[in-house]
Structure 1
Amino acid sequence: MPLPQKNTEIISDLKLWNQLIADDKAAFSALFEKYLNPLVNYGKTLMPSHEKVKDCVQDVFVDIWLYRHSLSDEVVVKAYLFSSVRKRIARLYERDRIFRQTTPLEDLEFSLKFSIEHSMINDETLDLEVRQLNQLLNTLPPRQKETLYLRYHQGLSLEQIAEVLEINHQSVKNLLHRAILHLRKEWKGSISLLLIGGYLAL
């Protein structure tokens, strides 16, 4: 199971972030290249149009560069970027009248279908169980799936997930607890649920 974001990664990102604030274009490019694909992949779970999602991600980075001198020099860069992309997509939905102007961000529906990697199981006899476990994961409500994705696939801490989803820490804990409780209650197979976090993948 991947651990939450490593300190070395946080330090590296923060160093690039502060260099960016100090007008370093190379640092800006490094962050853009590092996070473009993860942010696009996340954005596609909220909006099906690849091009629109990519435009949203690029717009986020354009704003970061334009307003770099007003940015805080103490942020968790990964959480900030994911949160910014989520907000940008929500505004695009509002502009296109897919949602009403009053629609809150939490109504964005997370649409990723989890898929446990067959190659990571290495046992053909477990193929049926893998399919059944995938089905069980995908019966979870969108909000619980998104929380699992951010926690186990992106390695964000509970505090960082709360920032991305704009909810409090306790709400994140509740979402994870309900998701895991449901999986433990419904799962009858032999694959340990302790391994699920390490197998969640796009």
Structure 2
Amino acid sequence: MKTTTVQNTFDDITLWNNMRESDEKSFSTLFEKYFSDLVSYGNSLSPYSEKVQDCVQEVFIDVWKYRKTLQSSVVVKAYLLSSVRKRIARLHERDHIFRKSTSTDSIAFRLEFSVEHELIDDDDYATKEKVAHLNNLLNDLPPRQKEALYLKYHQGLTVEQIADMLEVNYQSASNLLYRGLLTLRKEWKGTLSLITLLSSGTF
């Protein structure tokens, strides 16, 4: 599977700007399009699934409430993911689950990674063992490295967008990706492309 960079599709741009002009159908379409992705990402940051869903719904409520003031040039998916991350950080502060802080540093990525078995031949036991080892390596990475890889290869964000979400500069985001990949590449000796595995894996 070829990795793709998140860009606004024509549909996203149209839906977003129609929504900004109070088109309820466009708003509903955006909600249906991104709700599950946002909940999945939110669950990676908090073990409280019901509260995560509340956070995602609150993000959409705010989007609609403040639609007239929103910029027209945002990358919709990146904007929504970032909004969910910030809201969950505030949730952690309010509930005193983590240290009292409004910084998104107060939350840690917690989902487990798994390469889809459909990519591997049923009889290729050696590759299966290597992939299992790769999964363990990735899941043992520091949370920030793991989250950066998730945002890059699972959600398709650019390095700049990842930097904005994690509230670090571009070089720091690039370093997170580089260090994570370096750790994996030192150990991965399989015939399948490491990037292909990361892009097609599930969290």
- Normalising by structure 2, report the TM-score: 0.92
Task: Find out whether 1:60 has 2:59 as its counterpart.
Answer: yes
Q: Tell me which residue corresponds to 2:20.
A: 21
SS at match of 1:73: coil
Task: Find out whether 1:128 has 2:95 as its counterpart.
Answer: no
Alignment check: 8 A CA contact 2:163 2:169 kept: yes
Could you tell me how far apart the structure 1 residues matched to 2:103 and 2:70 are?
25
Superposition pairs of residues 80-91 of structure 1, within 5 angstroms: 80-91=79-90
Could you tell me how far apart the structure 2 residues matched to 1:194 and 1:33 are?
29
Q: Tell me which residue corresponds to 1:139.
A: 140
Could you tell me how far apart the structure 2 residues matched to 1:36 and 1:53 are?
11
Alignment check: 8 A CA contact 2:86 2:104 kept: yes
Cα 1:135–1:59, aligned 2, differ >3 Å: closer, same or farther? same
Write the deviation string for residues 2-61 of structure 1: whole angstroms up to 9, x where unpaired.
2112x5x43321211110110000000000000000000000000011111000000000
Q: Tell me which residue corresponds to 2:199.
A: 198
> In structure 1, what residue type is equivalent to 2:184?
L
Superposition pairs of residues 1-202 of structure 1, within 5 angstroms: 1-5=2-6, 7=7, 9-102=8-101, 104-124=103-123, 125=125, 126-202=127-203
1:198 Cα shift?
2.9
Could you tell me how far apart the structure 2 residues matched to 1:152 and 1:179 are?
12
Write the deviation string for residues 118-158 of structure 1: whole angstroms up to 9, x where unpaired.
11212432222221111111111100010000000011111
Percent identity reads 54
Q: Unaligned regions of 5+ residues in structure 1, if any?
A: none
| Greater mean alpha carbon deviation, residues 165-174 or residues 22-31 | 165-174
1:189 Cα shift?
4.3
Alignment check: 8 A CA contact 1:79 1:163 kept: no
Could you tell me how far apart the structure 2 residues matched to 1:90 and 1:180 are?
27
Alignment check: 8 A CA contact 2:52 2:88 kept: yes
Residue-pair matches, total: 200
Write the deviation string for residues 84-106 of structure 1: whole angstroms up to 9, x where unpaired.
00000000100001123236312
Write the deviation string for residues 60-82 of structure 1: whole angstroms up to 9, x where unpaired.
00011111111111111111100
> In structure 2, what residue type is equivalent to 1:133?
L
Cα 1:59–1:194, aligned 2, differ >3 Å: closer, same or farther? closer
Higher relative contact order (CA 8 A, sep 6+): 1
Output the aligned Cα RMSD.
1.6
- Normalising by structure 1, report the TM-score: 0.92
Q: Unaligned regions of 5+ residues in structure 2, if any?
A: none
